[in-house]
Structure 1
Amino acid sequence: MGLKLLFICKRRPMGRDLITGPYGRFFHLPRELAARGHDVELDVLSYRAGEDAEGTIDRVRWQSHSLRPNPVRAWRRLVQRVDAAAPDWIVGCSDTYFGIAAVALARRHGARALVDAYDNYEAYLPWCTPLHALWRRAVAAADLVTVAGPSLATLLGAARPGRAPLVLPMAPDPAGFVLLDRYRSRARLGLAPDGLYAGYSGSIARSRGIEVLFEAFRLAREQRPGLELLLSGRLERGVVLPRGARYLGYVPAALVPVVLNSFDVMVAVNEDSAFGNYSFPIKLYEAMNCGVPVLATRTASTAWMLAGHPELLVPPGDPAALATAIVGACAQGRIVYGGERPDWAANAAALEAALNAPGFSRRAGS
């Protein structure tokens, strides 16, 4: 007999609409659990007006509640949904607020609470200590905590001694991230078929170490003058792109595999920081699935993700080392990476086993 599971999160985690284009752990974990026979509902809160709606995607029933113009009404609707669903588990994901809400709703309705984290959320608002205290209290009180990697498990595990979080790695979306013809991919983007392109996809922000990438690119061009830098993602105000860089904009999800397949090398940069050491850049796995050479700043998180390929890591804050690695990677061509990478089906199987573990009754009060 399947479990009744209610997932709650914001409608646009990572800046992308979860309903019009389902993606990531926020959708694929519910989808895989529904495929395994569980009764799954996804309720999302939107910061935009006029997005009250409901439907079904791949056996996952969903409802969207707009916080504007009346956030109290949206919250009441969510509480009513919990009343009607009577779930065995309430799963809070996407940020601190939904983790806190999941624990509060679960206690109110006699359900179990699961808190999921894919980043160190406290690093987003380091000054907001009252929110951090509520978050840590929710992490400590949750029946189960799931995280994207071991460094995050250690961080959040400090709030719940003897009850280690379950690691559910970030995984590529199941469709699209495969090896495509490089020349056709470049043609779709209006790029030169025989160009030499280093690529970056993600937040183009100083806090991510983007200036190190820019300096590394400048040094690499001294050895390979024809090298260009392709950037896609959100461009932070005030960031000045270096000569030879091209900004592709915020690329629609359907085009991301095409962009990755256009790169000669994909670079993931970050800093050795309270954010970087707990950030697990999924673009690494996506590019590897496309056979694209990858490089990454060595942090606690990327060292774990690329444990089988330590040669792909470069020291943080070292543009000279990164430049040398970029030039070398550009000469490699496509790569067939050994080993297996995470997938959502395996993550769902691990989560299902944890939800059904001895000691967890179907309802917290039963």
Structure 2
Amino acid sequence: MLNVRVLVLSKRKYMGRDLIADRYGRFRELPLALSRHGAIVHGLCLGYRGGDEVSVLDESHGGRVDWDASKLSRLLPLGSGSYRRRIDGIAETFRPNLVWACSDTLHATLGAWAARRLGARLVVDLYDNFESYPLHRMPGMNALLRRALRRARAVTCVSEPLAEKVRDEYAVTAAVETIGNAVPDGLFIPQDKSACRRRLGLPDDACIIGTAGAISATRGLGALLDAFRVLRQSRSDLHLVLAGPDDGSLPVPVDDAHVHRLGSLPPADVPYVVGAMDLSVVCNADSAFGRYCFPQKLYESLACRVPVVVADVGAMSRLLSEHREVLFSPEDAEGLARLVEQRLRDPVVPDLPVPTWDTEGARLLAVMQRALKV
């Protein structure tokens, strides 16, 4: 096997989590999986909103990644602690032969610069359609992203619709591969529903629907709130659970005993939220963001064997093309209410394989090995 020495470049906080403190998500799990499959991995993350500057060893199930966390101000080319000096130090002590640049356009651009400075190959990861981010309203941001992608030996995308967009619109010559989201092995498993509800203080005799993820209008949750109001008119036993960071963009009731706002929970508690539900609602919006993302909560729900209804947009439309009985139009609250009622009477857990980060990590390593041979 090729000797793969990977430098991972990422922002520190994403999806409402801290890569160092919470040890959560794609940019933590895939580097660990790479390590388990034989790569040697070092990570450097930037905190955009402060955070301690630390060096930590992240070890899990046989994988190990050394992470350095720096502040955004370290991008200034001043002093021994600057980002440039840190990259030079990594060149001397770690000697990476590949840079995996993740999380946003800034890091795609930093990755292209670092790969040139290190004499390493570049692989850029797109876990969202970065063009949908507010930062891309600034002139020149789209050009920066496209320039970085053209310098890459491979591009990894979170969904097939996003991979197709890159192939069709970005004029890249590199291989474009889909490396999807996944679940940690052994964390999301079938749960005892009553035990989950007791743990979270939820009523055991209620019919509970809900979602675990970002509570935001940009994620299409307005339809869920409206559908819940419609259903409450005929179902006094119905309760709604919302777990995740709330950006305040939705009028979530604060004085309704049937609406349970759990806030941002530790990652290890999310399986109990999913396990407490009679029906998991996977929302999304038909937007420049929603058409290209991959809602991880679908796989989390399927791994827990919890019935689902899912917004019919982007990657979900394709993945569930043979299970259209669980799909709803993302802006249609009345249609969602009817579908929820149907799936509560006749629950459906689509029979789909649920990838783990280990399986996706093996696929990512193969992409990197090919990039080193090009």
Same fold (TM over 0.5): yes
Are 2:78 and 1:76 aligned?
A: no
Residue type of the alignment partner of 2:372 = F
SS at structure 1 position matched to 2:241? strand
CA contact 1:42–1:60 (8 Å) conserved in 2: no
Partner of 2:148: 138
Are 2:66 and 1:55 aligned?
A: no
Partner of 1:235: 246
Are 2:350 and 1:340 aligned?
A: no
CA contact 1:24–1:173 (8 Å) conserved in 2: no
CA contact 2:280–2:301 (8 Å) conserved in 1: yes
Residue type of the alignment partner of 2:198 = A
Change (3 A) 1:153 1:44: same
Are 2:356 and 1:356 aligned?
A: no
Partner of 2:323: 309
Distance, in Å, in 2 between the alignment partners of 1:337 and 1:271 is 21
The range that moved more, 290-299 or 50-59, is 50-59
- What per-residue deviation string (whole Å, max 9, x for no partner) do you get for residues 247-302 of structure 1? 11111111100011011111121211101101111001101111111111111221
Distance, in Å, in 2 between the alignment partners of 1:56 and 1:283 is 24
Change (3 A) 1:3 1:235: same
User: 1:109 aligned to 108, 115, 118, which one?
Assistant: 118
Q: What TM-score comes out, normalization by structure 1 length? A: 0.92
Displacement of 1:15 in angstroms is: 2.2
Partner of 1:34: 35
Distance, in Å, in 2 between the alignment partners of 1:61 and 1:345 is 15
The range that moved more, 243-252 or 75-84, is 75-84
Change (3 A) 1:185 1:332: farther
Residue type of the alignment partner of 1:86 = R
Distance, in Å, in 2 between the alignment partners of 1:326 and 1:255 is 25
Are 2:338 and 1:324 aligned?
A: yes
Partner of 1:275: 289
Q: What TM-score comes out, normalization by structure 2 length? A: 0.90
Partner of 1:265: 279
Uncovered stretches (5+) of structure 1, i.e. residues with no partner? none
CA contact 1:264–1:329 (8 Å) conserved in 2: no
SS at structure 2 position matched to 1:99? helix
Displacement of 1:239 in angstroms is: 2.5
- What per-residue deviation string (whole Å, max 9, x for no partner) do you get for residues 191-235 of structure 1? 111111111122222222222111111112223222111111111
CA RMSD across the alignment: 2.0
SS at structure 2 position matched to 1:171? coil
Distance, in Å, in 2 between the alignment partners of 1:267 and 1:350 is 29
